[in-house]
A = this chain, B = another copy of it.
Amino acid sequence: MTVHQDKALVLLSGGQDSTTCLYWAIDRFGQDAVSAISFDYGQRHRIELECAETIAGDAGVEHCCLPIDTFAALGGDALTDPSVDVGNDVHPSTDLPNTFVPGRNLVFLTYAAAHAYQHGIDHLVTGVAQTDYSGYPDCRQQTMESLQETLRLGMESKIQIHAPLMDRSKKETVELARDLGVLNVMARTHTCYNGKRPPCGECPACRLRAKGFAEAGIEDPLENA
């Protein structure tokens, strides 16, 4: 069922998960009611933002990109700091992966909610998942529920956070993309933590993606892109 009266804003990173969510939102809310938001937070690989822009354009939805210079100033994280190695290493002072920026998703969703507030949008859609859980506490269902309450109180809004992949495995996310008829779009998404295209195949993000496609018995279109 397509609900046309409500508007939705999709947090689009340019990766497989958020791209699948974009089409989930289009399916649910209708293309005209959907827009997308990305964040330029100094990620080492500009290709992510280029993918997001291309994907939003191909989907025919409005797209805006907000700058965030604060993460780089907070410093010390693998996704923004070239001095930190990416891999399976964990953060020296915690047992979280070293790609963890504390509260990153909380910040993204709060900014998305502020943008939504200004544009009369009541629905946020995010690709976070707790299934193939990689150690990010800001991706869990309980955190999302608490954040939704915080945003509603703090902005006096009726904002609703949708996380359609929350309980889906990577395999099930691939199957969702298939069911939505957008497997071909996956060729334009970016996953690799090392910013390689074709992907490095070695980093945790590449391996998780490959596992998802393998388990779904579907060839990753990215391989042939």
Contact = CB atoms under 8 A, between A and B. Distances in A.
A interface bracket (residues with beta carbon within 8 Å of B): 35 or more
Contact of A154 (B73, B103, B111, B117): B103
Contact of A146 (B110, B117, B146): B146
B70 A111 contact: yes
A143 B148 CA distance: 11
A180 interface: no
Copies in the complex: 2
B74 A70 contact: no
A100 B126 CA distance: 26
A150 interface: yes
A201 interface: no
A73 B150 CA distance: 23
Interface in A27-60: none
A106 B138 contact: no
Interface string A77-118: 000000000000000000010000111011100110111011
Interface string A138-169: 10101100110111011110000000000000
B114 A74 contact: yes
A150 B153 contact: no
B69 A73 contact: no
A110 B151 CA distance: 12
A192 to B, nearest CB: 25
Contacts of A70: 66-70, 111
Interface string A117-148: 11000000000000000000110101100110
Interface of A: 66-70, 73-74, 76, 96, 101-103, 105-107, 110-111, 113-115, 117-118, 137-138, 140, 142-143, 146-147, 149-151, 153-156
25 contacts: A66-B74, A67-B69, A70-B70, A70-B111, A74-B111, A76-B118, A96-B156, A101-B114, A103-B110, A103-B151, A103-B154, A103-B155, A105-B154, A106-B110, A106-B151, A106-B154, A107-B107, A107-B111, A110-B110, A137-B156, A138-B153, A146-B149, A146-B150, A146-B153, A149-B150
